[in-house]
Amino acid sequence: MLPTATLINYYHLCHRKMWLHANHIRMEHTSEAVAEGKQLHEHAYPQRAERYREIILDGSKIDFYDPYDKVVHEIKKSDKLEHSHIAQVQFYLYLLRKNGVDGATGLIEYPKLRQTETVQLTDEDIPMVESWIRDIERIVEREQCPGRIAKSKCRSCSYFDFCYVEEE
Ligand code: SF4
């Protein structure tokens, strides 16, 4: 079974976060950052109904897909470009391709930065995405939760309290 796009994103951020999420240990409901992200998604595209479609492919939901121009729009509240965002959108493009939609592209929008990032998926990228999928399967099946990453990268993570409870 394919991982979800959320797992692809987390895989590029922190294997521990990915493992916890995959094993249904969820903290997003306690996170202000997650709530802020949701709000942004809800208000960023009031015209969404006219142009964009919400589609679900192999268990992953694409919130804003433009079927006319074949563009996946992804909005990030982050104030910096992250490799994990690009990986997530490349995975959407991979899913579209697998489901018969060739030539789609992605556009990540960063309202806080007033910046956009175009994302492509080339033929050469396919083995890379498939290696992420295999690696994710391997990590998720482990009985042991992976270790923490550097604390400096954890501040906005919804699992922060869970990971550092004994230190706070
Ligand atoms: S708090 Fe840090 S170590 Fe824990 S899951 Fe989040 S990113 Fe990973």
For the stretch 95-113, pLDDT in tens is 999 999 999 999 999 989 9
The first and second tokens of residue 2, run together, are 């394919």
Coil/strand/helix, residue 162: helix
The residue whose CB lies within 8 Å of the most ligand 1 atoms, and thus the one to mutate among 6, 26, 27, 157, is 157
Three-point CA angle 42, 43, 49, nearest 5°: 75
**Model confidence over 25-75: pLDDT tens digits?**
988 766 666 666 666 666 666 666 678 889 999 999 998 999 999 999 999
Measured in Å, residue 11 CA sits from the centre of ligand 1 at 11
Measured in Å, residue 140 CA sits from the centre of ligand 1 at 15
The CATH number of 5-164 is: 3.90.320.10
Q: How far apart are CA 122 and CA 93, in angstroms?
A: 10
- What is the Cα 67 distance to its own chain's centre? 20
Ligand 1 within 6 A of 16 CB? yes
Report the atom number in ligand 1 closest to the C-alpha of 154: 2
Residue with tokens 């309202």: 111
The residue whose CB lies within 8 Å of the most ligand 1 atoms, and thus the one to mutate among 11, 12, 16, is 16
CB 78 within 8 A of CB 149: no
Measured in Å, residue 35 CA sits from the centre of ligand 1 at 18
Structural domain boundaries in the chain: 5-164
Query: pTM higher than 0.75 for the full model?
Result: yes
Ligand 1 within 6 A of 81 CB? no
Q: Which region holds residue 59: left if phi is over 0, alpha if psi is between -120 and 50, else beta?
A: left
Mean pLDDT of 9-32: 89
Residues 6+ apart with CB under 8 A from 128: none
